[in-house]
Amino acid sequence: MITFISPTLEYAILAPMLIVLAGALIGVLIEAFAPRSARANSQLFITLTALVLSLASLIRVRNSASTTAAMESVTFDGAGMLLQASILVISIIAVLLLADQENFTALASALPGSDEERASLQKDLRVTEIYPLTLFAVAGMMLFPVATDLITLFVALEVLSLPLYLLAGLSRRRRLMSQEAALKYFLLGAFSSAFFLMGIAYLYGYSASTTLAGIHAAVVGGTGNDIYLLLGIAFLSIGLLFKVGAVPFHAWSPDVYQGAPTAVTAFMAAATKVAAFGAMLRIFYVSFAEALYQWRPALIAIALITMVFGSLVAIAQRDVKRMLAYSSIAHAGFLLSGVIALNKSGLDASIFYLFAYGVATVGAFGIVTLVRDSAGEVTDLNRWSGLGKRSPWVATAFAGFLLAFAGIPLTSGFIGKFSIFSAAYESGSTAILITGVLSSAIAAFFYIRVIVLMFFKDPVEDGTSVVIPSLYTQVTIIVSAVVTFALGIYPTPLINFIQSTASFLR
Amino acid sequence: MVTNSGLVYLIALPLFGAVSLLLLGRRADKWGHLLATALSAGSFAVGLFQLSQMLGRDVESRPVTQKLFTWISVGSFNVDASLLLDQLSISFVLLITGVGTLIHIYSISYMAHDPDRRRFFAYLNLFIAAMLLLVLGDSYLNLYVGWEGVGLASYLLIGFWNQKAAYATASKKAFVMNRIGDMGLSFAIMIAFASLGTVSFSGVKEKAEFASEATMTALGIMLLIAAVGKSAQFPLQAWLGDAMAGPTPVSALIHAATMVTAGVYLIVRSNFVFDAAPNAQLLVAIIGAITLIFGALIGTAKDDIKKALAASTMSQIGYMILGAGLGPAGYAYAIMHLITHGFFKAGMFLGAGSVMHGMNDEVNMRKYGALRKFMPITFVTFGLGYLAIIGVPPFAGFYSKDMLIETALNAGGVKGILLGGTALLGAGITAFYMTRVMILTFTSPKRWDDNQRPHESPALMWIPMAILAVGSVISGYLLHQGKAFKHWLEPLFAKPGEHSELLPPIVVSGLALTMVAIGVAIAVVKYQLSEVDSVAPENVTEFTHFARRDLLQDEINEALFMRPGQAITSALVKIDQSVIDGAVRGIGQMAIGSGSSLRKSQTGFVRSYAALILVGAAALIAAIWVVTQ
């Protein structure tokens, strides 16, 4: 007979996630009961408060790291704490971008081009639902890298994905494209979730367990049917590789990056990557480490293809958001090196890289929101030419972020690349080192081309201009830029902190 | 090693200038150039002070270091942001800040009418700071920061006159070729880190003797690639000529005296790597020999005065690389030639700028002629540089080049004869094309229109030229007096192996001077004694056509690298966007039309993406399956 075991929950450990969820629920209540005029400001306030409180409570419980919670479905360890903190910091600076309502449609339910849409624009309506949606996504992202039970992992995946599908469709301009992107993202996301679930099923079939520790024990014991393990690893990887945008599961990302409101793209590109790579690192380091001969060659191949493909195809892009999308594909390849390394320095390097890349990404997309004409954001790169002459500061900041993506010294990107490739080389993957450096060199080409375009070409006279950033956007860009350069010039404190903290609890 | 807390000021002064001029913006327009010049001069003064201190110490304790902070500390791997000032770096520091300051002074007048002069000076200071970091870094990683920094500053400076249409492609080419070089350096750093566990010069030197020769050869070749990219050596030489689109003082500073010589610095600094990897070392010498002939041949056909000088720079750096490839016997002479070259080539570039200044920015030498009468000072200073570069005794180039030729000849066996012979031949061609430049510009009959009003440049411009001219006259003698410079640098290098002399020094000098005399004579006959057309004649030999087109370097690059690269990229884009769609469409799902133009902007169909995921999934499973079996 099945007896019902009442679950015990360690609230202190779960508090960071619960605070974010509570913020989201309050946000829903505000949507339901607060007068329309008061919503935008109170939502922003609630969202930021929830995120900051969550970060504070995370810092408070940092010393109780290395414990399990919620019936061992969540593990709170050093690496998990760092990943959650990264997600929160990135979310805070990304939420400030959301505050600029110019990005979002006035009424999401109005048909594009309809009278209703025009009326909603005239009434200056605002979709303030973005805030609770964002908080739900953040909660899912925070759960994703600390979940140690595959079922919890799947729940986290859906909690983080569903709000993002919605958010992607809320663009104010070019709404058809935005909605198309959202639908694509949703359909393909559902498809990949199915793979992920299949993977869970096979792994359960292999080990009779859904916990990472149980699967690890089965791999070490070697008693299960290896075909189930193999299919389980493959299917689970597909779900994760989809989320991080690795080739050949990348096809959605350029369309979604381009179609989604830029502030959402910033949040999604930065925070989702941290969450998904965090989960991937945990699963491979904890459960599959002993089965590395099975999965490593395939993952190396995917990493190599992803780096080269992302870097090469980015060269051909004429749209800044698509270019950044392909660049993020290339970075997914670089980050896979950290998973493949499967050593402590790989873990440290990955966490550093994720944080550094996430911050720079939010900053770069923050700048994209500023370059506009009368019809909204200008993402055609040709129309960015001469930006450096009109708005030297904005162009300089963007150049800084691009240099960080390119991995030029004195930016965080250089330290990240250096440590992650070294870690991969340490583990014996010479191919990763060579291909990584080569494709970084290729990638540098299109980053620098944009810099040349901004600073050395004459401005085009077609109404493209840089709007005066709102205070929130300014904070986002300045914080991102300062972090990007500080981590390039003096990374030691953070690296030391990661080194002494980052570890996975088996 | 002795620590010295004063080294940071060498870099901090110009860096402060760059930052403050950029931050203050228009407010600093009135005095920004003066501040920048003063700071560069201040850095030179600090350098002189350090030199005097260094001379006061005995040989063993001459190198000093300063640790700024711990840059990266990953486990047992530590990289400090540290500076190292030894006999080699002080030589560069004085060259960079000395020539740099003169060029600052020159630019005050040269850029006087440019509304953005302040920004130009900010970039100049930034360049000086980056270049100093390059030569003062105590590890490959610190050097790499300066390496990228000078690259960045040079793009800013070349791009300063961005109204030139040709600039866009020029910068792209410079960028790609430099990128290949930078990649070589990053590979070298990773190899050093992974197989030796350290990236500092002293650490690598220590470990070099225990490492396998294969490792050192790989390291050496990667360093050579880096040097080849930065120093415009064969086969990555094509960008230098195009970089001449920038302002002339920039060409003098970056593309003659300092940045392009960074490759020579890198190889000489890494002497312990190359000494442990004879094959890589031989490759260095071969690359140098090829480039010195290659550049000289291009120089014979150029009508653009700056491009002729650029070709000559390429060729002279070829000499230095050749010297650096000759091992401990050649290192000191490579650096000595680098310094004398810094004087005479920078002087000649400034002279070319002065000529352009007086000739409405005309660069075609076929439209010059008889400028001797109108620009006497420029003629004299340029002429002294000319005598130095072709190697007439007792001018500077004579000593440094002669020693390089001699060392090459004495390298032993066939290698010595080939390398030395090439260097001798190069001396002859150099004499020919430089005489051609002199004649076409200054001494042949005038070929310019009557609306030109050639005139001498103001004092702020000619004084730096005169100072550099003095350097072109005496620097070689001073450095070579009692082999002073060789002894100065010697403690840094391994002891050279004994080689028997192939020819006595006096005979070598005689041979070299004979080659020079032949080169000068041909040029005089061809250009001074016969009529020169003001447009380039078309009925010339096939070789001249080749040389005019830079020995087809662009065509070869395009065919070998650019087009295949573009083809791969466009093929991947096609695969990414249409092939998968096309395959799905081919099945007959044309029902959904392409729709509005909005939808067209995203070509992808979600079903194609899903199909791709499916294919990818199948491939992944297959791969794991195959591996497991």
Q: How confident is the model at residue B268 (pLDDT cuts 50, 70, 90)?
A: very high
Which residues in chain B are closer than 8 Å to A457, comparing Cβ atoms? 162, 168
pLDDT (0 to 100) of residue B622: 84
pLDDT digits (tens, 9 = 90+) for B154-199: 877 877 665 555 555 666 677 777 878 888 888 888 888 877 888 8
In degrees rounded to 5, what are phi and psi of residue A467? Answer: -75, 155
Which residues in chain A are closer than 8 Å to B145, comparing Cβ atoms? 409-410
Contact A316 B145 (CB under 8 A): no
Q: Answer whether residue B573 shows pLDDT above 50.
A: yes
Which residues in chain A are closer than 8 Å to B15, comparing Cβ atoms? none
Which residues in chain A are closer than 8 Å to B625, comparing Cβ atoms? 230
- Residue B185's Cβ-side half-sphere holds a number of Cα atoms within 13 Å equal to 29
Indicate left, alpha or beta for B493 from its phi (over 0: left) and psi (-120 to 50: alpha).
beta
CA-to-CA distance for A99 and B185, rounded, in angstroms?
A: 44
Which of B347, B318, B343, B329 has the alpha carbon at shortest distance from B260?
B318
Contact B606 A187 (CB under 8 A): yes
Question: Which residue in this structure is represented by tokens 């690496």?
Answer: A79
One digit per residue, the tens of pLDDT, for chain A of length 506 reads 667 777 777 888 889 999 999 999 999 999 989 888 888 889 999 999 999 999 999 998 877 766 777 778 888 888 999 999 999 999 999 999 988 767 787 777 777 778 878 887 777 777 888 999 999 999 999 999 999 999 999 999 999 999 999 999 888 878 888 888 899 999 999 999 999 999 999 999 999 899 999 999 999 988 788 888 989 999 999 999 999 999 889 888 998 998 899 999 999 999 999 999 999 999 999 999 888 888 888 999 999 999 998 988 888 888 899 999 999 999 999 999 999 999 888 999 999 999 999 999 999 999 998 888 877 788 888 888 888 878 888 888 999 999 999 888 889 998 899 889 888 888 888 888 888 888 888 888 788 888 878 877 777 777 677 777 888 889 999 999 999 999 988 888 898 889 888 888 76
Question: Mutating which of B22, B575, B601, B614 best tests the A interface, going by the most A Cβ atoms within 10 A?
Answer: B601
Residues A237, A332: contact at Cβ < 8 Å? no
CA-to-CA distance for B444 and B447, rounded, in angstroms?
A: 9
Contact B617 A315 (CB under 8 A): no
Question: Which residue in this structure is represented by tokens 């992992």?
Answer: A153
The reply to whether A444 touches chain B by the CB within 8 Å rule is yes
pLDDT digits (tens, 9 = 90+) for B443-496: 888 887 777 777 888 888 888 888 888 888 888 888 888 788 888 888 888 887
The partner residue sitting opposite B74, judged by closest CB among A233, A345, A433, is A345
Q: What residue in A sits closest to B608 (Cα-Cα)?
A: A251
CA-to-CA distance for A234 and A294, rounded, in angstroms?
A: 10
Q: How confident is the model at residue B601 (pLDDT cuts 50, 70, 90)?
A: very low
The partner residue sitting opposite A441, judged by closest CB among B167, B183, B604, is B183
For A160, the 3-state DSSP assignment is helix
Residues 6 or more apart whose CB falls under 8 angstroms from that of A186 comprise A165
The partner residue sitting opposite A313, judged by closest CB among B72, B573, B612, is B573
Which residues in chain A are closer than 8 Å to B76, comparing Cβ atoms? none
Which of A475, A384, A393 has the alpha carbon at shortest distance from A97?
A475
The whole-number average pLDDT for the span B309-322 is: 91
Smallest CA–CA distance, residue B71 to chain A, in Å, is 6
Q: What is the 3-state secondary structure (H, E, C) of A226-275?
A: HHHHHHHHHHHHHHHHHHHCCCCCCCHHHHHHHHCCHHHHHHHHHHHHHH
Element containing residue A65 per DSSP (H, E): none
Radius of gyration of chain B (CA): 27
The whole-number average pLDDT for the span B139-163 is: 81
For B304, the 3-state DSSP assignment is strand
What's the DSSP call for residue B538?
Answer: S
Q: Which residue has the higher pLDDT, B343 or B116?
A: B343
Which residues in chain B are closer than 8 Å to A180, comparing Cβ atoms? 599, 602
pTM of the predicted protein model: 0.82
Q: How confident is the model at residue B576 (pLDDT cuts 50, 70, 90)?
A: low
Residues B426, B322: contact at Cβ < 8 Å? no
C-alpha distance from residue A4 to each of A71, A152, A210, A278, B608 (Å): 13, 18, 18, 32, 46
Which neighbouring-strand residues pair with B616? Answer: none
Q: What is the DSSP string of B193-239?
A: IIIIS--BHHHHHHHHTTS-HHHHHHHHHHHHHHHHHHTT-TTS-TH
Helix axes B117-136, B262-269, angle to 10 degrees: 10
The reply to whether A408 touches chain B by the CB within 8 Å rule is yes
CA-to-CA distance for B476 and B548, rounded, in angstroms?
A: 33
Q: How many helices (H) and strands (E) does chain B have?
A: 28, 3
CA-to-CA distance for A121 and A114, rounded, in angstroms?
A: 11
Contact B601 A255 (CB under 8 A): no
Q: Which two tokens stand for residue A371?
A: 């370059």
pLDDT (0 to 100) of residue A56: 94
The partner residue sitting opposite A456, judged by closest CB among B69, B171, B623, is B171
Residues B439, B519: contact at Cβ < 8 Å? no
Residues B291, B233: contact at Cβ < 8 Å? yes
Q: How many CB atoms lie within 10 A of CB B439?
A: 21
Smallest CA–CA distance, residue A295 to chain B, in Å, is 6
Residues B424, B514: contact at Cβ < 8 Å? no
Question: Which residue in this structure is represented by tokens 């002339």?
Answer: B248
Which neighbouring-strand residues pair with A67? Answer: A76
Smallest CA–CA distance, residue B195 to chain A, in Å, is 9
In terms of DSSP H, where are the helices of B532-595?
A: 542-548, 553-557, 563-574, 580-586
Smallest CA–CA distance, residue A338 to chain B, in Å, is 15
CA-to-CA distance for B577 and A335, rounded, in angstroms?
A: 25
The partner residue sitting opposite A248, judged by closest CB among B159, B186, B615, is B615
Helix axes A471-489, A392-406, angle to 10 degrees: 40
CA angle A68, A70, A75 (to 5 degrees): 30
Contact A490 B71 (CB under 8 A): yes
The partner residue sitting opposite A295, judged by closest CB among B70, B171, B624, is B624
In degrees rounded to 5, what are phi and psi of residue A247? Answer: -70, 135
Q: What single-letter amino acid sits at A85?
A: A
Which residues in chain A are closer than 8 Å to B615, comparing Cβ atoms? 248
Question: Mutating which of A171, A315, A419, A500 best tests the B interface, going by the most B Cβ atoms within 10 A?
Answer: A315
pLDDT (0 to 100) of residue B96: 92
The reply to whether A422 touches chain B by the CB within 8 Å rule is yes
The reply to whether A298 touches chain B by the CB within 8 Å rule is yes
Q: What residue in B sits closest to A425 (Cα-Cα)?
A: B194
Which residues in chain B are closer than 8 Å to A315, comparing Cβ atoms? 569
For B81, the 3-state DSSP assignment is strand
Sheet of strand A465-466, all strands in order from the earlier edge strand to the far edge: A376-377, A371-373, A465-466
Residues 6 or more apart whose CB falls under 8 angstroms from that of B512 comprise B391, B401, B402, B405, B424, B427
Q: What single-letter amino acid sits at A475?
A: V
Q: What single-letter amino acid sits at B118?
A: R
CA-to-CA distance for B122 and A278, rounded, in angstroms?
A: 43
Which of A488, A353, A501 has the alpha carbon at shortest distance from A424?
A353
Which neighbouring-strand residues pair with B72? Answer: B79
Q: Which residue has the higher pLDDT, B420 or A275?
A: A275
Smallest CA–CA distance, residue B186 to chain A, in Å, is 8
Q: What is the DSSP string of A404-455?
A: HHHT-TTSHHHHHHHHHHHHHHHTT-HHHHHHHHHHHHHHHHHHHHHHHHHH
Indicate left, alpha or beta for A244 from its phi (over 0: left) and psi (-120 to 50: alpha).
alpha
How many CB pairs below 8 A link A and B?
167
Element containing residue A398 per DSSP (H, E): helix A392-406
The partner residue sitting opposite B572, judged by closest CB among A238, A309, A408, is A309
Q: Which A residues in the span 329-348 are in contact with B, Cβ-Cβ below 8 Å?
A: 345, 348
The reply to whether A472 touches chain B by the CB within 8 Å rule is no
CA-to-CA distance for A78 and B223, rounded, in angstroms?
A: 40
CA angle A383, A389, A394 (to 5 degrees): 80
Q: Which residue has the higher pLDDT, A356 or B439?
A: A356
Question: Mutating which of B80, B154, B182, B624 best tests the A interface, going by the most A Cβ atoms within 10 A?
Answer: B624
Q: What single-letter amino acid sits at A111?
A: L
Residues B219, B184: contact at Cβ < 8 Å? no
Radius of gyration of chain A (CA): 22
Residues 6 or more apart whose CB falls under 8 angstroms from that of A78 comprise A65, A66, A501, A502, A503
Q: Which A residues in the span 33-72 are in contact with B, Cβ-Cβ below 8 Å?
A: none
Q: How confident is the model at residue B597 (pLDDT cuts 50, 70, 90)?
A: very low
Which of A63, A198, A88, A61 has the alpha carbon at shortest distance from A143?
A88
Q: How confident is the model at residue B561 (pLDDT cuts 50, 70, 90)?
A: low
Q: Which residue has the higher pLDDT, B64 or A160?
A: A160
Q: What single-letter amino acid sits at B505?
A: P
Q: Which residue has the higher pLDDT, B581 or B270?
A: B270
Question: Which residue in this structure is represented by tokens 């899903």?
Answer: B610
CA-to-CA distance for A365 and A417, rounded, in angstroms?
A: 21
Smallest CA–CA distance, residue B214 to chain A, in Å, is 16
Contact B183 A183 (CB under 8 A): no
pLDDT digits (tens, 9 = 90+) for B227-264: 998 888 888 887 887 778 778 888 888 888 888 899 99
pLDDT (0 to 100) of residue A68: 78
Q: What residue in B sits closest to A255 (Cα-Cα)?
A: B602
What's the DSSP call for residue B255?
Answer: I
The reply to whether A255 touches chain B by the CB within 8 Å rule is yes
